[in-house]
Each structure stands twice: as C-alpha cells, then as structure tokens.
Amino acid sequence: MAQYRRVSGSVGLITLQNPPVNALSASVRQGIVDSVKRALGDQKVKSVVICGQNGVFCGGADIREFGRQMSGPPLVPMIHDIEAANKPVVAAIEGSALGGGLELALGCHYRISHSKAVVYHCFIMTMSDQAKLGLPEVTLGLLPAAGGTQRLPRLIGVPAALNLITTGRHVTAAEALQLGILDHVTEHNTVDVAVKFALSVTGESLDGRRISSFSCAPLSDLDSLFEEAMLKVRSAARGAIAPVACVQAVRAAATLPYAQGMEREKELMATLFHSGQARALQYFFFAQRAVGRWSTPSGARWDTSQPRPVRKAAVIGLGTMGRGITVALAQAGLSVVAVETHAKQLMEATKAVPSMLKRGAVRGGTTIEPDSITYSQNLQAVADVDLVIEAVFEDMALKEKVFQQLSIICKPDTLLCTNTSSLDVDHLASQTRHPELVVGMHFFAPAHVMKLLEVVYGRRSSPAAVATAMQLGKKMGKVSVAVGNCRGFAGNRMLKRYLEQAFFLLEEGATPELVDRALEEFGFPMGVFRMSDLSGLDVGWRVRKADGLADTSLTGTSARVRQGCRYSPLGDLLCEHGRFGQKTGRGWYQYDKPGGRVAKSDPWLHNFLDEYRARHGLVPRCIDQQEVLERCLFVLINEGFQILEEGIAAGPEDIDAIYVFGYGWPRHRGGPMFYADMVGLERVVERLERYHQAHPDVPYLQPSGLLRRLVANGSPPIHKWRNVIKNRNSQL
Ligand SMILES: CC/C=C\CC(=O)SCCNC(=O)CCNC(=O)[C@H](O)C(C)(C)COP(=O)(O)OP(=O)(O)OC[C@H]1O[C@@H](n2cnc3c(N)ncnc32)[C@H](O)[C@@H]1OP(=O)(O)O
C-alpha cells in the first residue's frame, strides 16, 4: 500500500509501504493511484513527493506476482498519469530504485537521490551508502515495459540507455547523476531535501520536465550502432532472448514517436512475459536468495546459528587457488597471513597477489592497501588468526599433515577450513583436536573472481563453524551454498557423471567438436572438452591415478571396465601422450602454442579416436546433438536427484545455484534441477531408462529413487519437491 499525507503546508507526500523493498504489488499500485488522485485534487497541495518507507524507494514490480493472474491498476497508465500531472512530482530516491521503481521515478518530473561521500572500509576505499538505480528486468527475462525502454533513451541518450537496459546493471547515485538520470544528489535526508525542492518548484512550468515529450539525441549512424549492440548482446547472451528484445525496444525509442515506441515495448514484452526463459530467470532470482537460508540434516540453520567474528585469516599454500583466496579475503577487508613453505612459490606469490589486487581495484573502482597481507614461509605465523583456509596440493597425506600441525599451532577456537575439491572433510577433521571447527570451503578458480563457494559441513562441524564459513563467503561477495560431505561434494560429483558420458560419446562415434557444439548451443560458455583443455586434463588424471583407476596397461574388455562399471580411459591416454590441454598446447584440441587460447580441431586426435575404437572393436555410429544433451545433462541431473535424496544438498535451489555460479550452466535455463522440471520429470525418467537399457554397464543412467518418487507423486513443480524429499511416502 501507500501512505498519503500533506507536509510543509502544500506538499503531498506519498510513501510506498511494502517491506522489505516496497515492490509494486497490486495494493501498492492501487495506493499510488489513489494518493496521486488525492494530491492532485487537493487545492492546498501544490507539489508532490514520492518516496519509499524504511529508506528504500522501490525494488520494482513484485516479481512474485508475475506467474499469477495480474490484478490491480497496471503500471503504464499509472506512470503516465503521474507524468501528465499539472503539479510537480518529485521522486525522493533512497536505497534502491530498480525496474518498475526507476520507471516510476522516470515518470516523475524531478529525481533526487542520496549519495554519501567516500568511506574507508579497512584498507579499501568504497563509495558506500549510495542509492542504486537500474533497470534489471533483462536479468529476469523481461524488458522494462513500464516505459523504461522509451523514457531512459530520451533522457540519457541511446548508447547509455542501451548499456543499462541490456546489462541490467545497477548504477550508484553518483553515476546516475553523471548520466543525467538524477537532477540532484544529497548527503542529507533525501525526503526532507525533496520536500524543500518540491516547495521551490511549485507553480513552475512542467513543459520541459515530461520525458515522454523529449526526442532522443540524434546520432550520426544509428544503424551501425544498433547492429553493433545486437552483435554484442547475441554473443554475450548465449541464447537468452530478453537482451535481444531490449535492443529492439530501445531501437523503437530512437526511431519512433513515443506512443508507437510504447506499443512496440508492449509487443516485445508480450513475447517475453510467459517465456520459459523468464520463468527460469525469475525462479533463479528467488533460488539465489533461498540458498542463504541454509540448513543441515543435524538441525543447524541459518537463522539460529551464530557466526563467529573473523578479522584475521590465513591461507596455507600459495598456488593458483591459494593466491585467489588470499586476494578474495583481502578484498573483503580482512587481514591475511599468506603461508607458503616453498621459497620460490612464495616469492612468486608476493609479486602475483599485489598485482591481482591492483587489477581488481581498477576493475571495481576502489583503491587498495596491500599491507593487509603478510607473507610467511613458516606455519607458526598463523598462531593468532581466527580462521585458516588450507589450499595445499590435492593430496590427502599432505593435507592430513597440515591439519595436524594447524591443530597444534592455532588458537583452540580457530576455524580450520579446507579448500579441497573432493577429499573427505570428516577425515581431515579427525586429524585435529577440535573436529567441530573443521569445514570445507571449496572455491572455484579463479577464486577471487568466481562467485560460487561450496561450504562443506562434516559429520561433526558445529553450527557456528558452518555459519561462520557461510558468512565469510558472503563477505567475499560469493554465493555460499552449504552442502554435505561426500566424494566431490555436490558440484564435482555431478560433473563426474557428465564428463563420463562425454567420454563414452567419443568412444561411440562423436567428436569433441560435436559434443562441445551441442553444449555451447545449449548455452554453456564452453563445451566439456574445451573446458577440460582450459582447466588441464592432468588434474583429473592425478585424482584417477590416486584412486587406482588410470591403469592403461589393461587390455581387452577390462581396459574399459572399473569396479564392474563402464570406464573410458580416453582422458588417461591423452595425458600419457603429454596432452594436458591449453598449458601444453595440445589436449582435445590443438593450440598454436603452449598456453594458447584458440582451440582448433586436431587431425591427430581424430586419428587417435579412430584407432582407439578399432582397437576396442567399437563401431562408430552417428550421434546427434539431442543425444549428446540428453546423455550428458540427464545423467548430471539424475546425480543431482541422488544428492537431494541423500541430503547432501538441502533443496534443488542449492544445486541450481552451484551449477549456474560454478559450472557455467546458462542462467536463462534456471539450473539443472529447474531444467528437469521444465523438460518434465516423466520425460527425464523415460530417456534415462532408455539409455540405461542401451548401456546397462552404466548404473548411473538408472533413474534415482527420488526422481521416480516425484514422478509417482504426479511430478509436482520444483517448489514442492522438498515435501517429497522430506516425506518418503509423500503423496503431497
Ligand atoms: C511491466 C513490468 C515492469 C517492471 C518490471 C520490474 O520491475 S521487474 C523487477 C525489477 N526489480 C528487480 O529486479 C530488483 C530485484 N531486487 C533486488 O535486486 C534486491 O532485492 C534489492 C532491491 C537490491 C535489495 O537487495 P537486498 O540484498 O537488500 O535484499 P534481498 O535481495 O535479499 O531482498 C529482500 C527480500 O525482498 C524480496 N524481493 C526483492 N525484490 C523483490 C521484487 N521486486 N519483488 C518481490 N520480492 C522482491 C527478495 O526475494 C527477498 O525476499 P526473501 O523472502 O527475504 O528472500
């Protein structure tokens, strides 16, 4: 709803009231319509201010209303009536003005916002306490269809509007002022300043204040500007349709009168509004927030577990991961002790880390003080830290030793975290005096850039330990997802199945190019083979060797079988040929030099595959893209259901967040579990069963028990899966 009152004698003050972000729900829209009517009809009122309760102007349309039958007054005529008012209307923007919230402000005649000067946060200078403005609809699979695509280009010009609308990025009040979105910023109380301002413009002509009457600033080569914009969004969008529609809508603003532009905006929105992509992106908006409300099977929860304060942290091992983690901790404002026992590696890190910090500061528009990091070759340097993240080589014996030493050196209440990507967190905990203070913090490379953090709780991890790791992740700007301890945790465990299928497809007749094309057209930034070349084939090989799997001396049928299941030694054989991927200039593809980035098809690899198939009596067959997608994705999804069944992840949102933020799953497809829901669970079961019949030596193709139960329960929508997971006999 909206509250209306008269202040300072002649200003009608309308306050949006819908906590926490004053989203424009039906009752808020009705409240605005009624309040505007009242203000315009009251002769004592000479001007109007619109603001939001609790320091937030408006977070936009109420996203929860999108999937439902819309009721209440629509936004477009509501904003039109505000713009057409004959009394000045001022938007007082505190907190956020996003989506429909900014569109509402663009309908007002003036916009004033809050911006506080520079703040020093530990050693990083930030502009804080500023309002954030933006049109993020594209991130929800939509476009700003309450006049945003038509008013913003008229106000700030086509190039700047295209940038904001196609990326959905939020800008600070300072940038918004520079762009011309705001008329004024203040360090004082925004509403008070807006009321004073409203009094000062009482009676002034509003002719030059209605944005819909503006023309877009003329540009010399409009066609090439839009062609370029279209090329850019198409290459970045990886199949997402909303960015393309956004460009088309802004083009309408640049080429058509306002009323026709609004018609075009409406038409384009109609194509997006009920699309699967919009559903996926809106689901994902809430999924990201759901992962913050974590819980563990032992009953620890986000709202009852108290995190410990962490001011000083240590990183052990300054290889690629350790350096990235050091940077991420320093960027979060922590004091960091970075330990590396190898002198050469330490020396390299003391040069690399400051330059990574510097690059990050340039990107983020902040300044840095690298003195917050101290380097040491001696583990004793961690004696007084609150938390340690071990990032040494992925070798259990080495990690055991490090944990034993840490347990002796550190304060008794220091949290000990491991950055292992798959090893047993419980086993590491058992090496310490306080196993309840041990958790996994699984970062993804590059650790200072990638958004995902898997927080792995062990059998004995205390609620406070999990809460502390989750909160630290958040402080580092990560999406922290709590998962249970098992081989590979959630992400890598699912990935293993996906990789296996990709190898099997090569054995059966596919090429890396075919598999990668199918996955890239689906929306992954890189197919599985291009990705393996980038991350290095030797990483998995080392793990397989440690597990006793990578034995290429085996011949006959046993060469392709391990522990009674089908196994492909292709990756192992490539490594034996010294083909580790980009780093060696050869992998599944060839590169112009070691470290080269451009993957080229490699005739050697195709010959190698032919010979391999001939040696094993495999007759290559024609494999299409659909089979590639079904085999690779459905087996990964099936493992996801198994993970849910075992309680390793608490809900499908956790798995989806892991895959979107850590593994490049296209966000406009919502994540693997949402994708399964979209495809239809029955179909997933049917295809898995069919592939399992064809490949009975691949047990993971058998639909998981939970997947079958969901189908038996009538394939409920994804938001009801937790009920079935909780209750094994659920009929919902
Ligand atoms: C005709 C179509 C016209 C217009 C289309 C639109 O306007 S689409 C909506 C565009 N707006 C957005 O995309 C903004 C979405 N919200 C945010 O980015 C952030 O929530 C915000 C406003 C920056 C605040 O961030 P903060 O970190 O402070 O809070 P949090 O994100 O955790 O949100 C708090 C709870 O509010 C819920 N919520 C936020 N925005 C909306 C919204 N627009 N509609 C409905 N609900 C919203 C959010 O889910 C959180 O709920 P919770 O139950 O606590 O998880």
How far apart CA 578 and CA 43 sit, in angstroms, is 84
Q: Give me the average pLDDT of each 10-residue run along the chain (732 residues).
A: 97 98 98 98 98 97 90 97 98 98 98 75 48 97 98 98 98 97 97 98 96 95 96 93 98 97 98 97 97 94 96 96 96 96 96 93 73 95 98 94 97 97 95 97 95 97 98 97 97 97 98 98 97 92 88 85 93 96 97 96 98 96 97 98 96 98 97 98 98 96 97 96 80 56
Question: Is 289 close to ligand 1, i.e. is its CB under 6 Å away?
Answer: yes
Q: How far does residue 99's CA lie from ligand 1's centre (Å)?
A: 10
The terminus-to-terminus CA distance of the chain in angstroms comes to 34
The reported pLDDT for the residue numbered 729 is 62
DSSP 190-235: HHHHHHHHHHHTTT---GGG-GGG--PPP-TTHHHHHHHHHHHHHH
State residue 122's pLDDT score. Answer: 41
Decide: 96 in ligand 1 pocket, CB within 6 A. yes
Q: What is the pLDDT of residue 609?
A: 98
Answer CATH for 625-726 from 1.25.40.20, 3.30.70.20, 1.10.1040.10, 1.10.579.10: 1.10.1040.10
What is the SS3 assignment for 529-545? HHHHHHHCHHHHHHHHH
**Which tokens belong to 273?**
């509004």
Judge contact between 382 and 409, C-beta under 8 A: yes
Question: Is the CB of 146 inside a 6 Å radius of any atom of ligand 1?
Answer: yes
**pLDDT at residue 125, as a whole number:** 39
Residue 174, judged by CB atoms within 10 A of its CB (0-12, 13-18, 19+), counts as middle
**By the 8 A CB rule, do 152 and 122 touch?**
no
Q: What is the CATH code of the structural domain delimited by 2-274?
A: 3.90.226.10
61 lines ligand 1 (CB under 6 A): yes
Beta pairing class for 415-418 and 561-562: unpaired
Query: For residues 415 and 437, what is the distance between their CA atoms, to the nearest angstrom?
Result: 5
**Separation of alpha carbons 288 and 661, rounded Å:** 10
Q: Is 99 in the pocket of ligand 1 (CB under 6 A)?
A: yes
CA of 670 relative to ligand 1 center, distance in Å: 17
Q: How many angstroms separate the CA atoms of 90 and 437, rounded?
A: 53
| pLDDT at residue 546 in the model | 86
Query: Does ligand 1 have an atom closer than 6 angstroms to the CB of 141?
Result: no
- Does the C-beta of 64 come closer than 6 Å to ligand 1? yes
**Nearest Cα residue to 411 out of 390, 383, 388:** 383
- CA separation for the pair 370, 350 (Å, rounded): 10
Whether residue 615 has its Cβ less than 6 Å from ligand 1: no
- Catalytic residues, by residue number, are 103, 137
Q: Which atom of ligand 1 is nearest to the CA of 292?
A: 55
**165 in ligand 1 pocket by Cβ < 6 Å?**
no
Gap from CA of 376 to ligand 1 centroid (Å): 44
What does the pLDDT read at residue 369? 66
Cis peptide before 446 (omega within 30 of 0): yes
Cα–chain-centroid distance for residue 217? Answer: 35
Range(s) of the chain covered by CATH 1.10.1040.10: 510-616, 625-726
pLDDT recorded at residue 116? 77
Beta pairing, strands 2-7 & 11-16: antiparallel
As a whole number of angstroms, the distance between CA 33 and CA 31 comes to 6
Residue 20 Cβ inside 6 Å of ligand 1? The answer reads: yes
**How many residues are given for the chain?**
732
CA 627 vs CA 152, 514, 682: distances in Å? 45, 11, 17
Q: Which of 21, 152, 271 to mutate to test the pocket of ligand 1 (most atoms within 8 A of CB)?
A: 21
| Residue 254 contacts residue 218 (beta carbons within 8 Å) | no
Q: From start to end of 544-652, where are the E strands?
A: 561-562, 565-566
Atom 30, ligand 1: which residue's CA is nearest?
Answer: 289
Mutate to test the pocket of ligand 1, among 63, 152, 653 (most ligand atoms within 8 A of CB): 63
Ligand 1 atom closest to Cα of residue 289: 55
Fold classification of 312-487 is Rossmann fold (3.40.50)
**Cβ of residue 97 lying under 6 Å from some atom of ligand 1:** no
Measured by CA distance, the residue closest to atom 35 of ligand 1 is 20
In this structure, the residue with its CA closest to atom 10 of ligand 1 is 99
Q: Indicate whether residue 77 lines ligand 1 (CB < 6 A).
A: no
From the CA of 470, how far away is ligand 1's center (Å)? 21
Who's near 427: CB < 8 A, 6+ residues apart? Answer: 396, 400
For the chain, residues classed under CATH 3.90.226.10 are: 2-274
Of ligand 1's listed atoms, the one at least distance from the Cα of 20 is 36
76 touches ligand 1 (CB under 6 Å): no
H/E segment holding residue 500: helix 491-508
**pLDDT tens profile 116-171:** 764 444 444 344 468 999 999 999 999 999 999 999 999 999 999 999 999 999 99
- Ligand 1: does its nearest atom lie under 6 Å from the Cβ of 435? no
Measured in angstroms, how far is the CA atom of residue 59 from the centroid of ligand 1?
A: 5
Q: How far is the CA of 21 from the centre of ligand 1 (A)?
A: 6
Backbone region of residue 42 per phi and psi (left: phi > 0; alpha: psi in -120 to 50; beta: other values): beta
The runs of H, that is alpha helices, within 664-712 are 672-679, 681-694, 705-712
Q: Indicate whether residue 136 lines ligand 1 (CB < 6 A).
A: yes
Atom number of ligand 1 nearest to Cα 168? 13
Cα(60) to centroid(ligand 1), Å: 7
Cα dihedral across residues 114, 120, 122, 125: positive or negative: positive
Q: Which two tokens stand for residue 557?
A: 């049928």
For residue 126, the model assigns a pLDDT of 42
DSSP class per residue in 229-255: HHHHHHHHHTT-SHHHHHHHHHHHHHH
Is the domain covering 510-616 a CATH 1.10.1040.10 domain? yes
Ligand 1 center from residue 259 Cα (angstroms): 29
**pLDDT tens digits along 455-504:** 999 999 999 999 999 999 999 999 999 999 999 999 999 999 999 999 99
CB contact at 8 A, 442 and 489: yes
Q: Measure Cα distances from 315 to 167, 320, 323, 465 in Å.
A: 35, 12, 8, 17
**149 and 288 in contact (C-beta within 8 Å)?**
no
Task: Point out the ligand 1 atom lying closest to the alpha carbon of residue 285.
Answer: 49
Closest atom of ligand 1 relative to the 63 alpha carbon: 44
Distance 653 CA to ligand 1 centre (A): 17
Q: Which one, of 342, 107, 147, 160, lies nearest residue 259 by Cα?
A: 147
Least Cα distance to 141 among 276, 305, 247 occurs for 276
The CA 32 to ligand 1 mean position distance, Å, reads: 19
User: What's the burial of 619, exposed, middle or buried (CB within 10 Å: 0-12/13-18/19+)?
Assistant: exposed
What is the phi/psi pair of residue 152, to 5°? -60, -45
Amino acid at 342: H
* Closest-lying ligand 1 atom to the alpha carbon of residue 98: 11
Ligand 1 atom having least distance to the Cα of 59: 22
Is the CB of 21 inside a 6 Å radius of any atom of ligand 1? yes
User: What is the 290 CA–ligand 1 centroid distance (Å)?
Assistant: 13
pLDDT of res. 362: 84
Single-letter amino acid code for the residue at 556: G
Is residue 673 within 8 Å of 718, Cβ to Cβ?
A: yes
List the one residue out of 441, 416, 420 whose CA is nearest residue 429: 416
